[in-house]
Amino acid sequence: MSRILVTGGAGYIGSHMCWELVGRGHEVLVIDDLSTGHESSLPPGAILLRGQVGSAEIAAMLAREHARSPLAGAMHFAAKARVDESVRLPDLYFAHNTQQTLALAGTLRDLDVPWFILSSTAAVYGNTSGDLIGEDHAVAPASPYGESKLRAEQGLRELFAKRGGSLAILRYFNVAGADPEMRTGQSTPEASHLIKLAAQTVVKMERAQEREPKAGATASASQMIIHGTDYPTPDGTCLRDYVHVMDIAGAHLAVMETLAKPREPRVYNVGYGKPYSVREVLACMREVSGVNFPIVEGPRRAGDVVRVACDSRRLQAETAWTPRFANLEVICKTALAWERRLAASTP
Ligand SMILES: NC(=O)c1ccc[n+]([C@@H]2O[C@H](COP(=O)([O-])OP(=O)(O)OC[C@H]3O[C@@H](n4cnc5c(N)ncnc54)[C@H](O)[C@@H]3O)[C@@H](O)[C@H]2O)c1
């Protein structure tokens, strides 16, 4: 069993990773500044170093921790991850996602921590063409968020080429759902993802119904807006490749196994290759919740890509990764179950 560094371990994806690692008997050291994460999302036994990944204080703490009990490797989830925010505050994104990532990786190379896995994103591809997007598809980020991640990827490649160590870059598609055991889920209140928003809408309507059970009382409580219904897709709405958060954690475990021996940097896309439209997702959430929330059709939103679907054949060929939750209904059900749980714990 190993000691593994998980940055951003108090956040959505990182907390699922921590629970999975601890469940397999690993020791987990977390760095998180709790800017969007929650300490309560961590599993028992995880050690939290609170601070920013690129800071001198964290570098000193890491050196002490590594001397006490060596780290086998690092999974780097900590980042700012909102496309809309990155358009307003690009410098914040380059500081957190690029500069701090490279500072952290430099510290870990100084300490000779053997491997590093970066959370990257399909946003590095920008406007994609073709049916399925493989790792060799051209990169052309359409947002400062995507650009900040691409620069981190490039900087890490240079660093590892010069200073040794194993590097893997995982580009996730649209991550959604929650741990089926409900140990953790997505708790970020201002999350902007479609499935999270739909689950929040259901829960708001259920709460309104509880407060005022008369017919019609829920109609105005909340609604979902479809941004654009005239895209060149079968139902006119955009298509996305939704991947269950537990399969993202599983991909890290599978990639980690390949990093035990030093190896060349590798990039892997993580998704299922079967995209769903906005209408299909909303219909599924209505179906699993039994709540017919109102759906309003609006104009297109700037920057939205028509179709995104992942080719994950490289990941499946080179690692033991097998998706276990590739089912939209399971994704919607677990996301909703977590949202209901969150609502039940908030007055
Ligand atoms: N959610 C998705 O659909 C998705 C898709 C592709 C890639 N990603 C990537 O996955 C990673 C995790 O995303 P998430 O959805 O769990 O986001 P999140 O906001 O829930 O988690 C990020 C965590 O990092 C912490 N953090 C942020 N900046 C930090 C810093 N400089 N130092 C220390 N801690 C810091 C936050 O407090 C939070 O706990 C990110 O790198 C993101 O870019 C997410």
By residue count, the chain amounts to 347
Domains, the chain, ranges and CATH?
3-178+241-271 (3.40.50.720)
Residues whose CB is less than 8 angstroms from the CB of residue 289 and which lie 6 or more positions away in sequence, other chains included: 199, 202, 332, 336
In whole angstroms, give the CA distance from residue 258 to residue 123: 25
Helix (H/G/I), strand (E/B), else coil: 169: strand
Per-residue pLDDT of the chain (347 residues), as tens digits, is 899 999 999 999 999 999 999 999 999 999 999 999 999 999 999 999 999 999 999 999 999 999 999 999 999 999 999 988 999 999 999 999 999 999 999 999 999 999 999 999 999 998 777 789 999 999 999 899 999 999 999 999 999 999 999 999 999 999 999 999 999 999 987 778 999 999 999 999 999 888 876 655 454 558 999 999 999 999 999 999 999 999 999 999 999 999 988 889 999 999 999 999 999 999 999 999 999 999 999 999 876 788 899 999 999 999 999 999 999 999 999 999 999 999 998 76
Atom of ligand 1 nearest to the CA of 76: 41
Enter the tokens of residue 42.
Answer: 């961590």
Q: Break the chain down into helix, strand, coil percent, rounded to 5.
A: 40, 15, 40
> Is the Cβ–Cβ distance between 82 and 145 less than 8 Å?
yes
- 242 catalytic residue (yes or no): no
Backbone angles phi, psi at 139, to 5 degrees: -100, 135
Q: Residue 226 pairs with which residues in a beta bridge?
A: 297
Q: What distance in angstroms lies between residue 136's CA and the mean position of ligand 1's atoms? A: 24
Closest CA to 205 of 319, 21, 343, 302: 343
Mutate to test the pocket of ligand 1, among 5, 30, 33, 133 (most ligand atoms within 8 A of CB): 33
The one catalytic residue among 12, 93, 145, 172: 145
Residue nearest to atom 8 of ligand 1 (CA): 121
Mutate to test the pocket of ligand 1, among 38, 83, 119 (most ligand atoms within 8 A of CB): 119
Half-sphere exposure (Cβ direction) of 311: Cα atoms closer than 13 Å: 14
As for ligand 1, residues whose beta carbon falls within 6 Å of it are 8, 10-14, 31-37, 52-53, 77-81, 96, 100, 119, 121, 172, 174-175, 188
DSSP string, 8-22: TTTSHHHHHHHHHHH
